[in-house]
């Protein structure tokens, strides 16, 4: 079972793995986790809920209480992308072992156009939203990835075009 945190208000199930205990028990995408083993997790930070879940061992019985009836929420992390830039001259790539990369928060109303135009390999990412962080190299360093995950819950798709 995977979930998202919506502005630290609630944790919502986004995906239920077929044949998993959650699937067998009838958990559905969109369900809101209210309690974990009688501990209310509404309004709890995502990291605190993850810590709680990691405290259980394989084989432990964990009781969840869910609230059903909410539409699946789109969150910022579903609009954050790593875009790797091109360096046609190789001036920067040879010195930095890769071109530039950008974490981009794509505007809701521009997401479809962004996903289509990123395929053309020629766009200015700033036209599609806000650049959250940029740097040089093949990929962002681990500390930046951790920061993006902590701030935005970002599990980010990488695009190798700019």
Tell me, rounded to whole angstroms, the distance of Cα 103 from its chain centroid: 12
pLDDT > 80? residue 124: yes
pLDDT tens-place string over residues 57-96: 988 999 999 998 777 666 666 778 888 876 555 555 455 5
Where do you find CATH 2.30.42.10 in the chain? 2-67
Domain 2-67 homologous superfamily, CATH: PDZ domain (2.30.42.10)
Contact 74/108 with Cβ under 8 angstroms?
yes
Looking at the chain, the whole-number percentage of residues with pLDDT higher than 70 is 77
Question: Residue 38 and residue 62: Cα distance in Å, rounded?
Answer: 10
Whole-Å CA distances, 43 to 11, 18, 77, 97: 8, 28, 18, 42
Whether the predicted model's global pTM rises above the 0.85 cut: no
- Enumerate the β-bridge partners of residue 105: 80, 130
Contact 59/136 with Cβ under 8 angstroms?
no
pLDDT tens-place string over residues 16-44: 899 988 899 999 988 999 999 999 998 88
51-60, 84-93, 142-151: segment of lowest average pLDDT? 84-93
């Amino acid at each position: 079972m995977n979930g998202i945190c919506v502005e630290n208000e609630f944790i919502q199930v986004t995906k239920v793995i077929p044949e998993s205990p959650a699937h067998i028990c009838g958990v559905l995408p969109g369900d809101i986790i209210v309690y974990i083993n009688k501990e209310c997790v509404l309004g709890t930070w995502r990291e605190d809920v993850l810590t709680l879940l990691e405290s259980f061992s394989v084989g432990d019985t964990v009781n969840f209480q869910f609230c059903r009836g909410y539409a699946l929420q789109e969150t910022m992390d579903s609009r954050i992308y790593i875009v790797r830039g091109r360096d046609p001259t190789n001036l920067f790539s040879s010195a930095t072992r890769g071109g530039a990369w950008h974490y981009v928060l794509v505007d809701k109303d521009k997401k479809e156009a962004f996903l289509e135009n990123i395929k053309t390999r020629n766009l200015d990412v700033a036209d599609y939203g806000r650049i959250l962080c940029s740097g040089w190299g093949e990929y962002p360093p681990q500390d930046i990835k951790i920061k993006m995950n902590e701030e935005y819950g970002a599990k980010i798709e990488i695009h190798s075009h700019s």
